[in-house]
Amino acid sequence: MTPSEPRISPARPEDLRGLRGFVIDMDGVLWRGDQPLPGLARFFQVLRRRGLRFILATNNNTRTPAGFAAKAASFGADVRPEEVITATTAALQYLQTRYPPGTPVYAIGEKALKDQLEQAGYKLVERGAAVVLAALDREMTYQMLKIATLQLHAGAEFIGLNPDVVFPTDEGLVPGSGMVLAALQATTGCKPLVIGKPEAPMYRMALERMGLQPEECASLGDRLDTDILGGQRAGLKSILVLSGVTRPEDLAASPIRPDWVCRDIAELADLLDAV
C-alpha cells in the first residue's frame, strides 16, 4: 500500500478491542435524509449487546435531541434522547456560561433551534442582540441575512453552530450551515466562533456523558474535515465510513488519515460483533 492509498478497513476485528465508546455522526452514517442506511438497527443491537457506550453527535440542528432519537427509533434503532448531542446542545452550554437568561439573541435557524433557545430563557430579537447565532435555515431569506449583518456590525458576538458547507440527503449533497456562516463573514468581516464539529465542545460533552476517556473512544463519521479531524484533535481514535460525503478518491487525496475506514455501519457492525 502506498501513502496515497486509503486504508480500507481494520484487518482484524481485534483492532477494535480496546474501544469502549463511540461518538457517532448521523447524516451520511446512519441515514441519508429520511432513508436509513443498511444495517442501522443491527448496528445499535451490536453496540447494546457488547456493552459499548455511544453518543450521537451531529452538526445538524433541524431537530431536538428527542427528535433525532425518535427518528432513530422509527428505523428500529434503540437510542435515547440523552444519548444525542447536537451543535445546539453545545451552543446552549456555551451561552449559559457567558450570558444570563433574558439575553437578547438573533438566531438564523429552524424551529428546533429557536425553541431550545427560548426554553433556555433567551429572548429572540431582531434588534439589540448581544449574540447572533447562525445555522442552517431551509427557509432563509435576504431579510434574515440583512438583520444578522446589522447586528454583527453593531457589536453582537457571532456564533456559528457548524461549518458544514454541505450535508448528505437522499437527493444528494445540499447546502449546509457553512453557507450561512460564509455569507455573514463575507458581508461583515466577522469570523464566527464555531461550536460544532470539528471544534472541541461537542466531544467534551460526549465523553462526559459516557464517562469515558478519549483513548477509550472512537469518532465515527463520514466527513474527514469534521468527524475525523475533530475526533483526532480531541484525542479519540477515528473511523471513517464511505456512505456519506467522503469518497475513496477524497480520502486518497486528503492529509487527514482516519485510523480505520469501513464501507458503512453494516461492515463495522460485523467487525464489532466478531471482537
What are the residue numbers of the active site?
A: 25, 27
Q: Are 45 and 73 in contact (CB under 8 A)?
A: no
Q: Grid coordinates in use for 39?
A: 444495517
Q: HEC string of the chain? A: CCCCCCCCCCCCHHHHCCCCEEEECCECCCEECCEECCCHHHHHHHHHHCCCEEEEEECCCCCCHHHHHHHHHHCCCCCCHHHEEEHHHHHHHHHHHHCCCCCEEEEECCHHHHHHHHHCCCEECCCCCCEEEECCCCCCCHHHHHHHHHHHHCCCEEEECCCCCEEEECCEEEECHHHHHHHHHHHHCCCCEECCCCCCHHHHHHHHHHCCCHHHEEEEECCHHHHHHHHHHCCCEEEEECCCCCCHHHHHHCCCCCCEEECCHHHHHHHHHCC
Tell me the C-alpha distance between 153 and 145, whole Å. Answer: 12
